[in-house]
Chains A and B, each alone.
Chain A
């Protein structure tokens, strides 16, 4: 009976997140009906623009589950984009080896960070902060200009970026020129959704996922249970950086460019999404599905502000922060009641 109650309080947070997303979107549809907010395409655009963030938030969720944090993700994405843009655009490398290179770099990056955090017991914040400096600096070392990838430079990558996967036509609408617009998604969306499903399964049904939960719940008892805490942490950070590299490729497919200033503040977006999605920051409680909805809420706020057109863009930041505040306080209220019941 008691365990059932505990699960409910965690699920409640995710329920609140999902309901909030639906309400927010409904308000958007109602207020900005004339500006195309109610179209299926607008909804799908949320996925398209945030595909990279969804991947990154999944990795961040795993790391936060162990009670740590990874603030290097934004810079790592910038570095990935720069390597892609410089490698394919300037050096003329072929597409697939470059992408494999990016993924390998992600794993190595995570390996170093995970080793420092897991085996040398250095605070996650400091380690990943150094990683953040390093990746951002390396981006500038590769090239300080803004590079873009054009069709002539790499046709395959370009075709991936512009590929459209059409949904059934009955979801479409007729635009003001009388042309029927069929809603579509980009390949990045498929990648992002695949990542969510895989991570969900890994966390729920594999030994590795279970040990992450155990480490986050209570490190000492996890050690006593015979789990290898150090190795679990190492793998969590490798996973985060690897997913971040996938996110970086998605991001690059969206922007088709690389620059030093890219994806600044991305790590905070990812953390905010995880928190809004119900991740307990002290570790141990998490749901990847919730994180995905956190990203969607973030995206909806941005879309609402840009659709309005008159509001300053800083309102989006303020709204995100207010929401973050609300969810954090909600979490601590729940924790308080839980403690009192016990």
Chain B
């Protein structure tokens, strides 16, 4: 009993438990969920699909976790920034106003760097507003939430720009001769870089201390504003990366649809990962597991034949259940009930 309590007290318990539950439902409902086959030299299967499609959410969740930890707020612009980065890249690669192209104007790497840099720029803008001007994160990022998608449309001259250039598709699909989808590698790379950054430098600890009490951290000699700014910058770069993957998947810049509602999934992933949305301590692994859990839920629902439009109902109920279980009020109520029961059983004895 004591050991069980120890396990349930762990921060990672909730996300792993949720993921396990989703997989269990699938096991009973349709065991073919776990089947993996090789067609045309690449891996196929629902599990691969979850890992592949969950890449964008996982990358976004990495950035979002830092933002939530440092400022107790959320960056709601990430979905729009994804779309802006994709449009920027396609504009640079195809040239302004070109609808479809099979040759690219500049080397691929420059285009992709441009997109990621655009993401970084957006992150810096958000960071400046939040860190320097002390504006509520949600409202500060509301500006880019509204504007970024619209600017992306301007970049693409209000149309969908197609890049029919084979290497551009590698990032979101498959590298030639490699059976594993590339987005999985991209995600792993992003996670490793950020993790190294957090573990090898003191940044991770700094972020926690600023998140717990920004003034105390300042008095202790930390540059709170700079640390907050850095987190938003990283979040923007992550959004740029996710935008690249999403755009490469469909080898075009579809400004209206890339990254639609992804900000909500990213925030959900953070909450699901057992992180408090009130800032402070954070657990990156939890967020990443949360991201794949969300994708697993989506894939499961789609596999069961629930339409994309109807899936949100289930998502909403899951969110409410999770946050209610996590809420301190509910926990203390549960504790009180348990104590009462203990007292009663003692009396009876």
Give the bracket for the number of chain A residues in contact with chain B: 35 or more
B150 close to A125 (CB less than 8 A): no
Asked if A29 CB lies within 8 Å of chain B CBs, one says no
Knowing A144-B309, A317-B146, the reply to whether A125 touches B315 (Cβ < 8 A) is no
B278 adjacent to A123 (CB under 8 Å):
yes
Across chains A and B, the number of contacting residue pairs, with CB separation under 8 Å, is: 131
Binary A-proximity of B311-337 (CB < 8 A = 1, otherwise 0): 111111101100110011110000000
Interface residue A318 (Cβ < 8 Å from any Cβ of B):
yes
Q: Please pick, from A130, A139, A321, the residue contacting B143 in the complex, using a CB distance under 8 A.
A: A321
A137-154 contact mask (Cβ, 8 Å, vs B): 1 or 0: 111110010000000000
**The one of A127, A132, A133, A271 that contacts B142, using a Cβ cutoff of 8 Å:** A271
Whole-angstrom distance from the CB of A126 to the nearest CB of chain B?
A: 6
In the complex, chain A residues whose CB is within 8 Å of the CB of B317:
130, 134
**Would you call B53 an interface residue if the criterion is a C-beta within 8 Å of the partner chain's C-beta atoms?**
no
- Asked if A228 CB lies within 8 Å of chain B CBs, one says no
Instruction: Give every chain B residue within 8 A of A325 (Cβ-Cβ).
Output: 143
Closest-CB distance, A91 to chain B (whole angstroms): 20
B222: which A residues are within 8 A, CB to CB?
A: none
Q: Is the CB of B147 within 8 A of A144?
A: no
Given A122-B327, A125-B138, A140-B307, A321:B313 Cβ within 8 A: no
Residues of B within 8 A of A139 (CB): 309
Expressed in whole angstroms, the Cα–Cα distance for A148 and B57 within the complex equals 36
Q: A65-91: contact bitstring with B at CB < 8 Å (1 yes, 0 no)? A: 000010000000000000000000000
Are A119 and B329 in contact (CB-based, < 8 A)? yes
Give the chain A neighbours of B136 by CB distance below 8 A: 281-282
- List residues of chain A with CB within 8 A of the CB of B327: 120-122
A220 within 8 Å of B (CB atoms): no
Give 12 new A-B contacts, CB below 8 A, not counting A130-B319, A134-B316, A260-B309.
A116-B320, A122-B323, A126-B323, A129-B264, A134-B317, A137-B309, A137-B310, A137-B313, A144-B307, A268-B142, A271-B139, A324-B146
A-B complex: 5 closest residue pairs judged by Cβ atoms: A140-B309, A137-B313, A321-B147, A314-B150, A137-B312
Q: Which of B's residues lie within 8 Å of A, judged by CB?
A: 74, 129, 133-136, 138-140, 142-147, 149-151, 153-154, 158, 264, 267-268, 271, 277-278, 307, 309-317, 319-320, 323-324, 327-330
